[in-house]
């Protein structure tokens, strides 16, 4: 398959090809995430309240397929995963912990993680659209703006070099075979839950396909890094940094550097829009009242800062980073899960059990429907 990239490099300039690759990966992820209702928040709340298993099954299917596919690539040496940012450079463990806690709280307040907000905004959800813009602005401010000193101070507490590195497989002396078996167990758990909860077959396939977008991104950027003349960062699917970069693409003068990230976010939006259009699920939705709006915007701001502090969002760290067994990614994922559970109990209490999974108007009672 690398010969395809070689041929394309002869026809398309490297920056444009990187952006085009990001666009293709984004379209695939967006379309299948929209159809599968992939959402970490929904999975956490469902597990916490023991209110079913469909959304947890979808998340496990996507997570398991992402980790398994990535480790297969690693075993076949098709992606150069050792050069990924999460493994090749020191990462902040304190940032992963604090950032994950902030992101998890924000995810509950905004009723969706960064990727979910992007997917929902493409289907006509104006709450998600405004929240996503706030997320991108705060992420940019945390990366290079007035929030940068606070982020750097929190991230400087403990770095991965102080504990022996950020590669969990190396730290535990585990083989890539063991990693693939571990991933297969998660995938099998997702399949079992999907069967038990009678999740629709198409939704199962869509969840697996959404997860496969992560190894596809690793493969594409890894292949480009080996064959392109310029330096290319090997990366998977993430939304904190790319959202900030995409925002600056529209705000900056012409000449902004094109890369994989710049194509990813518009691709996810386009893929989700097309999937919702074909499924006749486009619907304009807005805020119900002022307090609801404040809740969403505070949550989006917490996710923007927390995601940049942690070095990734629920997908960037919780799935992409976890797929290469980066220690900080697993810390972030655990912190997101814990914080989301606690925030849900403190902010929404018992009401969320019924309200968070209430079917929108027009959906049959008890039917499988998109998370709010």
Q: What is the DSSP string of 11-70?
A: HS-HHHHHHHHHHHHHHHHHHHHHHHT--HHHHHHHHHHT--SHHHHHHHHHHHHHHHHH
Residue 72 clears pLDDT 70, i.e. is over it = yes
pLDDT at res. 52 = 80
Q: Quote the tokens at residue 352.
A: 């969320």
For the segment 207-262, what is each residue's pLDDT rounded down to a tens digit? 999 999 999 999 999 999 888 788 888 999 999 988 988 888 777 765 557 789 88
Buried b (16+ CB within 10 A) or exposed e, 237-257: bbbbbbbbbbbebeeeeeeee
pLDDT at res. 79 = 85
Measured CA to CA, the distance from residue 159 to residue 95 in angstroms comes to 9
For the segment 47-64, what is each residue's pLDDT rounded down to a tens digit? 988 888 899 999 999 999
Query: What DSSP designation does 341 have?
Result: H
pLDDT at res. 355 = 47
pLDDT at res. 254 = 55
Range of lowest pLDDT (26-30, 156-160, 353-357)? 353-357
Q: What is the DSSP string of 88-119?
A: HS--BHHHHHHHHHHHHHHHHHTTS-HHHHHH
Structure confidence at residue 34 as a pLDDT band (50, 70, 90): very high
Average pLDDT over residues 189-193: 96
Closest CA to 237 of 204, 271, 205, 203: 271
For the segment 260-312, what is each residue's pLDDT rounded down to a tens digit? 988 999 999 999 999 999 999 999 988 877 788 899 999 999 999 999 999 99
Q: Quote the tokens at residue 346.
A: 């403190």
């Amino acid at each position: 398959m690398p010969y395809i990239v070689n041929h394309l490099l002869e026809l398309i300039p490297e920056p444009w090809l990187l952006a085009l690759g990001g666009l293709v990966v984004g379209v695939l992820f967006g379309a299948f995430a929209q159809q599968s209702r992939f959402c970490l928040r929904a999975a956490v709340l469902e597990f916490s309240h023991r209110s079913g298993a469909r959304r947890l099954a979808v998340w496990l299917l996507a997570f398991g397929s992402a980790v398994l596919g990535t480790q297969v690539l690693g075993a076949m040496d098709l992606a150069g995963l050792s050069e990924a940012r999460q493994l090749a450079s020191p990462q902040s463990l304190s940032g992963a912990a604090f950032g994950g806690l902030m992101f998890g709280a924000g995810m509950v307040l905004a009723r969706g993680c960064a990727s979910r907000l992007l997917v929902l905004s493409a289907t006509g959800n104006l709450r998600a659209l405004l929240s996503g813009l706030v997320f991108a602005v705060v992420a940019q401010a945390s990366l290079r703006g007035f929030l940068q000193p606070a982020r750097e101070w929190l991230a400087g507490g403990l770095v991965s070099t102080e504990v022996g590195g950020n590669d969990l497989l190396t730290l535990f002396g585990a083989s890539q075979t063991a990693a693939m078996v571990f991933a297969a167990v998660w995938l099998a758990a997702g399949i079992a839950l999907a069967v038990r909860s009678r999740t629709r077959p198409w939704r199962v396939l869509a969840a697996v396909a959404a997860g496969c977008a992560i190894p596809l991104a690793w493969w594409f950027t890894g292949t480009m890094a080996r064959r392109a003349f310029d330096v290319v960062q090997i990366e998977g699917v993430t939304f904190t940094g790319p959202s900030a970069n995409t925002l600056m693409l529209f705000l900056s003068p012409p000449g902004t550097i094109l890369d994989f990230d710049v194509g990813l976010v518009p691709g996810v939006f386009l893929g989700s829009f097309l999937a919702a259009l074909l499924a006749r699920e486009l619907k304009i939705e807005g805020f119900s009242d002022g307090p609801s709006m404040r809740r969403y915007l505070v949550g989006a701001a917490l996710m923007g800062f927390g995601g940049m502090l942690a070095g990734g969002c629920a997908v960037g760290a919780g799935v992409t980073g976890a797929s290469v067994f980066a220690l900080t990614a697993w810390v972030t994922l655990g912190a997101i899960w814990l914080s989301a559970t606690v925030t849900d109990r403190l902010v929404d209490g018992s009401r969320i059990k019924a309200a968070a999974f209430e079917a929108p108007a027009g959906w049959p009672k008890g039917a499988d429907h998109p998370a709010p």
